[in-house]
Every structure is written in structure tokens, then in C-alpha cells.
């Protein structure tokens, strides 16, 4: 990458005769322990800012969980709930693949971990209340007995699973609810608001929900909304044989989590404000803005782009933000904190400013804008203001851009959208596209 | 904030009169001697006991040492520059501003305030930055922004929403002033800031309306706003803060034309300004109108490393070709050539005069009068 971390003053392109002051060693104080699992870097869209008038800048924050794979280093125990839709439409192949996927999850867990299995149709069955995974064979016998019923009572299923996960009085666990459904809620509380509010309550208790939508019938806005509200994942599963693979990816991610409850706060001086964080809703304080990054697994980088507004000020170097990342660390077992000072030199020399741009931030901005374009495309598709040809062209353009920017997963998803468009499968297009937008907003990259 | 205590904490080692690496026995012994001498001086007595409270306790002393270590060592501490290879040096020549090295460590925040367009808050230091405006202490200061400061909104929490010249749309998203609240419409209100800094507002037909000073304003009709007015967009209240007027800004010594350092007549080799020189080599450049000395923020020279300095201790005024020193009723007094000055009695300075404020000693270098 060409990007210059902002902590380095004396950026190439700066006037070599200009007196610069290096960052004093004090600035690195407060960095997490040596073997802490998360690292924070901050890039600014430009190393310089115009001192004569108000300007907008972008900050790119990247939080990286070091290491790779499930087996590298210690892992945190998990407190996992599987919430399975066994409505009538799941009968046959889908439910058989679900059982296979559940068995795989049981195999991946150890007696250190806690597992809950809940199924729902008209009513809710707690197949396995929150228990340690000590007798995998017994659990698998219970899984084998799951059979299809009638309606879809998603709300109560989610509620029962959340209650089980929350009942475990153990600290330091990765908590996750894995929800799989193939249809619209048809029993119990059915409205979007009730279900998403329940997810918000779970999140407040530290429980993340991953929403897996299977087949053409489920409500993608509800499922993506659940994931977005909770910070979990969303996946569209087109065919039953894909179910085990999606479960495998999810469980690998959960087992790889090395930083929990990560939150990133920018402490701001006067005259610097955060206008927005793309794809995330920040909590604003008087002189701070905070985003919740949730759980981060090894080998993953979470990028967030912040739009800042900077007032005109006397030419000099300023710290425009003090970025503080805190998280529960799996490696050290402690709550860790790391800090980065974000420095900008304010000058009235436009030639200097024009040399200070950071291409890395510009690239990230292009990705964010691609996500906005996809939202518009999706809107146009739903309101039928865009023709299929228009949509296909827009998708292909964004796909090229994402490929260039190294967003391979999202580019592949758009490829699937384009294929669905060729088949004339509008449902698959929307279900995939809403996921791509969410994945771009999450800013996660392995 | 922890930083607030950091920059006002006195040097307890200096108060007792021991080295930083003194053993607990040594501290106890010296303290015992000093406290007996100070029986009749209540202020000295209390500052000694405060210092001893901290230094006698291993944990408190360690915490204090850590806090002190965080205070940046500035120009006079050349050793630090040498030991820090990334610090090439400190700019000494700045057009139109006093040389930064003319101001000692405790007064860098006065420099902050002159650098900070908002001029607000206390000059607390966080790491090496002004906690208020973010200024990197010691970084070269350049010109003030030419444009005038702009009005802004502040919410109940104190979060700022800056306004720009011309039109500002207030709305829930993709607006100039973004208020992500479900009672705020996408395009809620339009605010105009004209080039005289006057602010007016118009509701753009929002669902939940706009209130100014609790009164619902008619839609699509311009209403003038004044400083500190509370404007309610839907359910969200913001307070308008107008910038400090320009003539008020000019009244502040930092930006006054007269505040350029005045050339001293009897200056030795190349030095061109009237100044006070401290025994540690600290140099304070004297302003052409008034230079104030004290512990508190707002003084031209802030002295925080001497616990005998009062909040507003003394001033030196340049008038009719002379520099005139006045003690501003400080607790521990100001001495001129060893004699304590009566408070509020101006005294003309001559080149080479010895000035003592509290326990801080200076030599005056200036025009021979």
C-alpha cells in the first residue's frame, strides 16, 4: 500500500527545509500489551489541511487482528445458540443439510464451549438448553430427531435462544446466536420493529446475532436489518447444499475471535467534528465520537471511514483526533487499550496541500461510494425506475471497481447478482445485493 | 481529566529542596529541617507539607513522577532534543510571531491560546498537545486564518455543528448539518450565514417544524437568529453560538498589531528584543504594550513551576519609551533588585535590573533609560 500512516511527520513531498518535529516517544504510551491481539492504524486523506477556511477530511481507521486461522494461539470459549427454522417449507433436503451443518458445529466445539439448540415453527422447542458440549453423540441424536412443522414463529425462537445464551453466568465467552430461516415470520410477533428491537436488546447484553436467509422466500430486509442492528453477519443461501459451508465459515469466524467488544473512540479538540462514519452510526459526545466494532477474528482488518469537518485555524501542526481502541483481548485476558494521535499540519500553502493526499484513503472512499451506488441501484430496481439493463450495467461497473480495490468477496457477490439478473431471478438479486451492501458497510477484509 | 491536574502540579522536589532521585530517608531529613524553619510562614509550611504528603508515600510519589514525566520538556531542555533523533529542532524564526523559544515551558499554552481560533478553555496539556485546540506544542506557528470565525450550533451534550458561509441545509442525512434523529426531516431547515456573519433561518416545510426560542416559526419564511438562541429542529435542540466579534479579537493582546516584540536598544550581539532572561536561560520576549505574568491561563507568560507565583502576579507595561513593572498584589511579592515592590505601585525598569517573582528570578534586558 502506498499510504502513509499519519503518525509519521515529515511526509515525502514536504519541504525538506521546513523544520519538523518528530512525534515524541510519549505519543506511543498507552499502547496495548506486547502480545495484544488488535492493532490500530489511522490514515488521513491528506497530511495537510487548509488553514484559511473550513475543510472536510476523511480519516481511515483500520483495526487488524493479528495472526491467522483457528488454530493459531489461544481461542476464546464460545457460548453459541443455533436457532433453526423447521417450518413446513424446510422439509426434506433443506432440513437434512441443516442437521449435517449442526453436527459439524458440534464437532468443532469442545467441552469448554456452551451450546444451545432451538427450533421454531408454530411453537418453540429447546432441543438443547445452554450446556457444555461434553457428550457430542447425545447432542447429535437430538439433532437427528428434528422434523418439519408448520408456521414460522421467528420472534419466539430468537427470544428463547437469547434467554438461553444470556442465562450462562460465565465471563469471557464469545456469544453468538446463529439464526437460519427460509420464510417470512407467520406466527408470534411478526413485525419488523418488534423483531429488530429484540435484537437490539440482545446486543445490549453483548449477544450478537448472525442472520442466515435460505431460499427465495425469506424477508431480506428483515434478515439484513437483524445483522446490521446486532453487528453480526448476514448471508444469503441459495441452495440447501450450501448450508453446511455457510455454517462452517461462521463457526470458523466465531472460533477465530481474538478481540471482543471492540470500540473505537475519537477524542476531538475544539473545531474538529465528526460528520459521519460511513456504514455505521456513531454515538456522539461533546468532544468525542464512538463506534462499536464488536468481535474481530484473527487475520481480519476492519476499516472505517470517518468524515471530519475542520475549522480554519492558525497555521501549525495539530492533533485533530486522539483515536482510542479498547477491547477484551483473548491472548492477554485483559481489557486492552491502544491509542493513536492523528496529526495534521495546517498550512495556507496550496501546493503543499496538493502533495499530501493519501491514495489509500481515496481508494477506501471509492469503495464507500460504490456501496452508496449499490443502494441507489437496489432502490431503482425495487421501484422499477431502472431497467434490467441499467441495473446490470451499474452492477458490472461496481464489480470492476471492487475487483480493482481488492474487495474480492464483494466483487464475487456482485458476480452472483449479475448471474441472477441474467436468469431474471429478482429475488436472488435483491437478497445477494443487500448482503453486499452490508458487507461493504462492515468494512471487514481478511 | 487527569491532564488538568498535571500542568498545575508544582515541583514537590524543588519545594522540599531534594533531588528527584532522593532516597526516602533523605526526603524525610530535609523536610524535617525545612518544616522547622517554616514554622512562622504558614504558606511555606502548607506547601512543604503538601509536597511531603506526596513524596513520603512510595505509591503517590511514583504516580506523581509518572505524571511529571508526561509533561513535555521544552526549548530550554536541549538534552531531550539531542536524545530524540526525530526532533530535528525547533523553529526559531517565524514571520509575524514572537519566536516560540522566547516563551518558556509553562507558557506554551498561552501560545496555544493564541493559536487556537476559539480561545476557550484552560490550557491543559495531553501528551504533547493542547487539550483544547490540539496544537502540537512546539510546532512552528504560522499565520492566523484570514477568514473570520463562523457561527456554529452546539447540542445539549456540547457537540458542535459548524456552519459555513452561505446556505446550510439542516437535515437527517446528506445535509450540511446532519442530525440523525427521526423527528428531523431529510431537508428540515435552511440556514443562511451572510458575509457579515448574520444568521437567518427558514423552515423548509419539515414534518415536525422548527422552533426558535420555543416558538414555532412559520414555514418558508426567514427568521433572523441571535447569539445563544435555542433552535429546535423537530425534537432536537441546538444553541447558536456566534463567534467573538472581530474588534474584540483585536483587543486581545495576541493578535494586536502593537504586540509585536519591541526592539531593545541596548541589546547585545544580534538580539533585537526587550526581554526577561531567567537564571535557567529561559527568555520571555516583552510585548510592545503589556506583558502579564502569573500562574493562571490568560497571562502572556504562564509560570506554573513556581508555587510562589500568584494567579495574576505582575505585569510589565511599555509606556513613553520605558518598561514599567507593577506587582499586581501577589501573595509572595515581586522584588526589584532585592527590594520588595509595594503592590500596584509601578516601577520603571533599567537594563540589567534583577526581578524576582515568587522564587523565579529574571534579569531585564531592554532599552537603557
For the segment A125-148, what is each residue's pLDDT rounded down to a tens digit?
A: 999 999 999 999 999 999 999 998
Separation CA B209–CA B203 (nearest Å) = 7
Mean of the per-residue pLDDT values for chain A?
86
Query: Does the pLDDT value for residue A262 go beyond 60?
Result: yes
Contacts of B140 in chain A (CB under 8 A): 18-19, 316-317
Separation CA A399–CA A402 (nearest Å) = 5
Determine which of B134, B140, B154, B165 to mutate to test the interface with A (most A C-beta atoms within 10 Å).
B134
Q: Which of B89, B143, B178 sits opposite A275 (nearest CB)?
A: B178
Residue B99 binned pLDDT confidence (cut-offs 50, 70, 90):
very low
Q: What is each CA distance from A149 to A90, A125, A360, in whole angstroms?
A: 9, 11, 52
Note the pTM of the prediction, 2 decimals.
0.66
Residue B143 half-sphere exposure, CB side, CA atoms within 13 Å? 10
Express each pLDDT in A277-293 by its tens digit: 998 889 998 889 999 99
Contacts of A226 (CB under 8 A, 6+ apart): A179, A195, A196, A199, A209, A211, A232, A234
Taking the Cβ of residue B151 and every Cβ of chain A, the question of whether any pair is shorter than 8 Å is answered with: no
Contacts of B100 in chain A (CB under 8 A): none
Residues in a beta bridge with B153? B161, B240
Taking the Cβ of residue B131 and every Cβ of chain A, the question of whether any pair is shorter than 8 Å is answered with: yes
Q: What is each CA distance from A79 to A174, A177, A256, A358, B171, in whole angstroms?
A: 6, 9, 14, 42, 42
Contacts of A346 in chain B (CB under 8 A): 142
C-alpha cell at A15: 519541504
| Closest alpha carbon to B318 in B284, B281, B287, B355 | B287
Q: Which of A27, A54, A276 sits opposite B127 (nearest CB)?
A: A27
Contacts of B141 in chain A (CB under 8 A): 314-316
Cα-based torsion angle of the residue sequence B120, B179, B185, B189 in order, rounded to the nearest 10 degrees: 20
Q: Which of A19, A285, A316 sits opposite B135 (nearest CB)?
A: A316
Q: How many other C-beta atoms lie within 10 A of the C-beta of residue B259?
A: 19
Separation CA B71–CA A98 (nearest Å) = 61
Residue of A nearest to B91 (CA): A19
Express each pLDDT in A338-373 by its tens digit: 999 999 999 988 888 988 899 999 999 999 988 888
Taking the Cβ of residue B81 and every Cβ of chain A, the question of whether any pair is shorter than 8 Å is answered with: no
C-alpha cell at B21: 532521585
Q: How many other C-beta atoms lie within 10 A of the C-beta of residue A427?
A: 15
Q: Which of A311, A313, A316 sits opposite B139 (nearest CB)?
A: A316
The answer to whether A324 touches A63, Cβ cutoff 8 Å, is: no
Domain ranges of chain A: 30-72+258-356, 77-255, 360-445
Determine which of A24, A47, A53, A321 to mutate to test the interface with B (most B C-beta atoms within 10 Å).
A24
Express each pLDDT in A405-416 by its tens digit: 888 999 999 999
Contact across the interface for A53 and B136, Cβ inside 8 Å: no
C-alpha cell at A95: 432440513
C-alpha cell at A108: 468443532
Q: Which of A22, A270, A347 sits opposite B132 (nearest CB)?
A: A270
Nearest Cα of chain B lies from the Cα of A324 at a distance, in angstroms, of: 14
Determine which of B108, B145, B241 to mutate to test the interface with A (most A C-beta atoms within 10 Å).
B145
Architecture of domain A30-72+258-356: Sandwich (2.60)
Contact across the interface for A270 and B120, Cβ inside 8 Å: yes
With cell 452472483, the residue in question is A416
The answer to whether A260 touches A208, Cβ cutoff 8 Å, is: no
Tell whether domain A77-255 is in CATH 3.40.50.410.
Answer: yes
Contact across the interface for B142 and A347, Cβ inside 8 Å: yes
C-alpha cell at B78: 536541549
C-alpha cell at A366: 471509492
Separation CA A225–CA B15 (nearest Å) = 63
A264: Cα separation from own chain's centroid: 14
Query: Does the pLDDT value for residue B203 go beyond 50?
Result: yes
Tally the residues of chain B. 369
Q: Do the domains at A30-72+258-356 and A77-255 have one common CATH topology?
A: no
Q: What is the DSSP string of B190-247?
A: EEEE-TT--EEEEE-S-SS-EEETTEEPPBT--EEE-TT-EEEETTEEEEEEPPPPHH
Residue B157 binned pLDDT confidence (cut-offs 50, 70, 90):
confident
| Closest alpha carbon to A323 in A30, A36, A89 | A30
The answer to whether A57 touches A51, Cβ cutoff 8 Å, is: no
Contact across the interface for A313 and B150, Cβ inside 8 Å: no
Taking the Cβ of residue B86 and every Cβ of chain A, the question of whether any pair is shorter than 8 Å is answered with: yes
C-alpha cell at A41: 492504524
Residue A236: in which H helix or E strand, if any?
Answer: strand A234-237
Residue B4: in which H helix or E strand, if any?
Answer: helix B2-6
Q: What is the DSSP string of A253-307?
A: HHHTEEEEEEEEEEE--TTEEEEEETTB-PEE-SSEEEEEEEEEETT-EEEEEEE
B240: Cα separation from own chain's centroid: 25
Separation CA B73–CA B10 (nearest Å) = 15
Q: Percentage of chain A surpassing pLDDT 70?
A: 91
Q: Which of B89, B161, B178 sits opposite A276 (nearest CB)?
A: B178
Q: Which residue has the higher pLDDT, B244 or B80?
A: B244
Contact across the interface for B145 and A345, Cβ inside 8 Å: no
Whether the complex's predicted ipTM is more than 0.95 is answered with: no
Contacts of B138 in chain A (CB under 8 A): 21
Separation CA A11–CA A27 (nearest Å) = 18
User: What sign for the dihedral angle of Cα A160, A164, A165, A171?
Assistant: positive
Highest mean predicted confidence (pLDDT) among A186-195, A435-444, B261-270: A435-444
Amino acid at each position: 500500500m502506498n499510504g502513509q500512516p499519519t503518525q509519521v511527520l515529515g511526509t515525502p513531498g514536504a519541504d525538506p527545509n521546513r523544520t519538523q518535529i518528530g512525534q515524541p516517544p510519549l505519543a506511543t504510551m498507552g499502547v496495548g500489551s506486547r502480545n495484544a491481539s488488535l492493532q490500530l492504524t489511522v490514515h488521513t486523506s491528506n497530511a495537510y489541511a487548509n488553514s484559511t477556511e473550513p475543510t472536510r477530511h476523511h480519516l481511515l481507521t483500520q483495526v487488524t487482528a493479528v495472526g491467522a486461522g483457528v488454530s493459531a494461539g489461544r481461542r476464546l470459549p464460545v457460548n453459541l445458540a443455533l436457532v433453526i427454522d423447521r417450518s413446513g417449507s424446510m422439509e426434506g433436503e433443506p432440513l437434512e443439510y441443516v442437521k449435517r451443518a449442526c453436527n459439524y458445529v458440534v464437532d468443532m466445539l469442545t467441552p469448554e464451549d456452551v451450546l444451545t439448540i432451538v427450533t421454531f415453527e408454530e411453537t418453540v422447542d429447546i432441543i438443547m438448553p445452554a450446556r457444555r458440549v461434553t457428550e457430542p453423540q447425545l447432542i447429535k441424536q437430538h439433532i437427528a430427531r428434528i422434523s418439519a412443522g408448520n408456521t414460522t414463529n421467528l420472534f419466539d425462537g430468537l427470544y428463547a435462544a437469547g434467554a438461553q445464551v444470556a442465562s450462562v453466568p460465565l465471563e469471557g465467552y464469545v456469544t453468538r446466536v446463529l439464526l437460519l430461516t427460509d420464510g417470512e415470520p407467520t406466527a408470534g410477533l411478526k413485525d419488523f420493529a418488534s423483531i429488530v428491537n429484540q435484537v437490539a436488546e440482545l446486543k445490549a447484553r453483548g449477544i450478537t446475532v448472525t442472520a442466515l436467509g435460505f431460499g427465495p422466500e425469506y424477508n431480506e430486509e428483515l434478515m439484513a436489518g437483524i445483522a446490521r442492528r446486532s453487528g453480526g453477519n448476514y448471508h444469503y443461501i441459495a441452495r440447501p447444499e450450501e448450508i453446511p459451508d455457510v455454517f462452517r465459515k461462521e463457526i470458523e469466524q466465531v472460533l477465530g475471535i481474538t478481540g471482543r467488544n471492540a470500540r473505537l473512540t475519537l477524542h476531538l479538540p475544539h473545531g474538529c467534528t465528526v460528520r459521519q462514519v460511513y456504514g455505521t452510526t456513531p454515538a456522539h459526545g461533546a468532544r468525542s465520537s464512538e463506534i462499536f466494532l464488536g468481535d474481530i477474528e484473527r487475520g481480519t482488518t476492519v476499516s472505517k471511514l470517518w468524515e471530519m469537518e475542520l475549522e480554519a485555524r492558525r497555521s501549525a501542526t495539530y492533533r485533530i483526533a486522539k483515536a482510542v481502541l479498547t477491547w477484551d483481548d483473548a491472548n492477554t485476558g485483559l481489557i486492552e487499550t491502544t491509542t493513536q494521535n492523528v496529526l495534521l499540519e495546517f498550512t495556507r500553502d496550496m501546493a503543499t496541500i496538493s502533495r499530501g493526499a493519501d491514495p489509500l484513503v481515496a481508494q477506501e472512499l471509492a469503495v464507500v461510494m460504490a456501496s452508496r451506488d449499490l443502494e441507489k441501484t437496489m432502490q431503482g430496481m425495487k421501484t422499477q425506475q431502472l431497467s434490467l439493463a441499467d441495473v446490470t450495467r451499474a452492477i458490472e461497473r461496481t464489480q470492476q471497481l471492487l475487483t480493482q480495490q481488492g474487495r474480492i468477496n464483494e466483487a464475487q457477490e456482485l458476480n452472483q447478482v449479475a448471474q441472477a439478473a441474467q436468469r431474471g431471478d429478482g429475488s436472488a438479486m435483491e437478497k445477494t445485493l443487500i448482503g453486499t451492501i452490508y458487507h461493504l458497510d462492515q468494512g471487514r477484509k481478511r | 481529566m487527569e491532564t488538568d491536574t498535571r500542568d498545575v502540579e508544582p515541583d514537590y522536589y524543588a519545594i522540599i529542596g531534594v533531588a528527584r532521585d532522593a532516597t526516602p530517608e533523605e526526603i524525610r531529613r530535609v523536610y524535617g529541617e525545612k518544616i522547622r524553619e517554616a514554622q512562622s510562614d504558614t504558606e511555606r509550611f502548607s506547601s512543604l507539607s503538601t509536597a511531603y504528603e506526596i513524596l513520603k508515600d512510595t505509591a503517590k510519589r511514583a504516580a506523581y513522577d509518572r505524571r511529571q514525566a508526561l509533561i513535555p520538556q521544552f526549548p530550554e531542555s536541549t538534552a531531550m532534543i539531542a536524545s530524540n533523533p526525530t526532533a530535528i529542532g525547533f523553529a526559531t524564526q517565524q514571520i509575524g510571531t514572537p519566536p516560540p523559544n522566547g516563551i518558556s515551558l509553562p507558557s506554551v499554552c498561552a501560545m496555544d491560546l493564541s493559536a487556537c481560533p476559539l480561545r476557550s478553555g484552560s490550557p491543559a496539556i495531553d501528551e504533547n498537545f493542547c487539550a483544547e485546540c490540539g496544537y502540537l506544542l512546539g510546532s512552528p506557528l504560522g499565520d492566523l486564518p484570514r477568514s473570520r470565525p463562523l457561527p456554529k450550533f452546539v447540542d445539549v451534550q456540547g457537540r458542535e455543528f459548524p456552519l459555513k458561509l452561505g446556505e446550510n441545509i439542516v437535515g437527517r442525512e446528506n445535509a450540511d448539518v446532519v442530525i440523525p434523529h427521526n423527528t428531523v426531516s431529510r431537508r428540515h431547515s435552511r440556514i443562511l450565514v451572510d458575509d457579515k456573519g448574520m444568521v437567518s433561518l427558514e423552515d423548509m416545510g419539515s414534518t415536525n417544524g422548527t422552533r426558535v426560542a420555543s416558538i414555532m416559526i412559520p414555514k418558508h419564511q426567514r427568521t433572523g437568529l441571535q447569539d445563544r438562541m435555542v433552535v429546535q429542529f423537530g425534537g432536537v435542540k441546538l444553541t447558536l453560538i456566534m463567534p467573538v466579534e472581530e474588534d474584540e479579537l483585536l483587543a486581545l493582546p495576541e493578535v494586536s498589531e502593537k504586540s509585536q516584540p519591541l526592539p531593545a536598544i541596548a541589546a547585545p550581539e544580534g538580539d533585537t528584543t526587550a526581554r526577561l532572561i531567567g537564571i535557567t536561560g529561559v527568555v520571555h520576549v516583552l510585548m510592545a504594550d503589556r506583558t502579564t505574568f502569573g500562574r493562571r491561563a490568560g497571562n502572556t507568560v504562564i509560570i506554573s513551576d513556581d508555587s510562589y507565583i500568584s494567579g495574576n502576579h505582575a505585569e510589565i507595561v511599555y509606556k513613553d519609551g520605558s518598561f514599567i513593572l507593577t506587582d499586581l498584589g501577589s501573595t509572595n511579592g515581586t522584588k526589584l533588585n532585592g527590594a520588595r515592590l509595594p503592590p500596584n505601585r509601578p516601577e520603571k525598569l533599567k537594563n540589567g535590573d534583577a526581578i524576582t517573582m515568587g522564587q523565579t528570578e529574571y534579569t531585564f534586558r531592554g532599552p537603557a533609560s
